[in-house]
Amino acid sequence: MNKYCTYFSFEFLPFGLTLLDSISEHDPGSTVFVLCLDSKTTEYMKCSKYSKVNIIELRCLENMIPDLLRAKSNRSRTEYFWTLTPCIIYYLLFIKKNCSCLTYLDADQIFYSSPKPIFNERNKADITIMPHRFPAKISHLENHGKYNVSWLTFNKTENSRMCLDWWMNSCLDWCYSKGESDRYGDQKYLDQFEKKFKNIHVVRNQGCGLAPWNFTEFDYSKKIILLHYQSMRRLTNFFYSISVPLFENLNISELKPYFSTLIIQLRSYKQRIHFLESDKSCNFTEDTLIIFQIFNKTYFISNRHLIQLIFSLNNLYLRVLR
């Protein structure tokens, strides 16, 4: 039986719930631990159909790892959340000792098929990490890390404990949204795993870790296991934006059925928990695509002028709401 952990705040609740539902569908019988990053998330999780999920309140983690409170005072909210990544894994494996093997997942992901091929692939590895798989044209993005934090599996071994202890203390000391030669957030530390520790496995199956930066590299005749929809944001209940590098080389129709399913899920959660405002982190860039869904039909909009108009109207709508 596989065991997973993730974390999310209330504004990302629909993302987290989508992940939980997809785990339930494609890995039934698994155990999930959720670190709730605020009281509203904790309250919702305890009073919903997800009450059987193992809920961890942030204050409990902070009590067990007191250095978190020092870190909390010297970085942004997002940077603090990044700092929590190695901490929650270490907490569950080596403080609470809840499991012998644990997989961390970013909350903005959705399973479309069973993760069994990934667990089979890793065999007896202590630690499993996910490559970004950047195409050559955007290889400069490796400045943010060769590997992505979206999927991490650790066995409860001394090698894993040493790795997590080093990573956790590194993040407690420095975890910021700026690049340096050997670090960026919680993520670029992963580049050093293979040099510092043993028995590391890098996921080979490209159906796991499919994400906007590698959409153009995937063979869509193969099965998608886990889609990472990083940068996707809600503009209204019908419009979503996502940043897709090299989208001009992408056959968007191949992704349409997956995003159609995803948005139907996200819209249902938005309605259920009464989200009234758009995500304030939406930004229009040259890589932005708009996904429009109405009557369960999904359309992609790539025209720059039309996207700019949609963003302008959305910003006007937000000002009226305020």
Contact 89, 102 (CB under 8 A): yes
Please report whether residue 106 resides in a domain: yes
Q: Write the DSSP symbol of residue 213.
A: G
- The Cα-based distances of 161 to 50, 91, 100, 229 in angstroms read 30, 11, 12, 30
Please report whether residue 85 resides in a domain: yes
Span 198-206, average pLDDT: 98
Residue 277 has pLDDT above 60, yes or no: no
| 154 and 239 inside one domain | no
pLDDT confidence tier of residue 274, bands split at 50, 70 and 90? low
| 241 and 183 inside one domain | no
Looking at the chain, the whole-number percentage of residues with pLDDT higher than 90 is: 80
Q: Write the DSSP symbol of residue 270.
A: H
| 47 and 87 inside one domain | yes
Domain that holds residue 299: 231-321
| 307 and 186 inside one domain | no
| 141 and 14 inside one domain | yes
Domain count within the chain: 2
Please state the pTM of the whole predicted model: 0.95
Span 88-107, average pLDDT: 96
For residues 231 and 288, what is the distance between their CA atoms, to the nearest angstrom?
10
For residues 314 and 230, what is the distance between their CA atoms, to the nearest angstrom?
21
| 241 and 185 inside one domain | no
Q: Which pLDDT score, from 0 to 100, does residue 236 have?
A: 84
| 116 and 243 inside one domain | no
Q: Which pLDDT score, from 0 to 100, does residue 278 have?
A: 46
Give the closest residue to 8 by CA, choosing from 137, 80, 108, 123.
Answer: 108
Please report whether residue 216 resides in a domain: no
End-to-end CA distance of the chain: 47
Q: Which pLDDT score, from 0 to 100, does residue 273 have?
A: 66
Give the closest residue to 50 by CA, choosing from 93, 21, 89, 81.
Answer: 21
pLDDT confidence tier of residue 276, bands split at 50, 70 and 90? very low
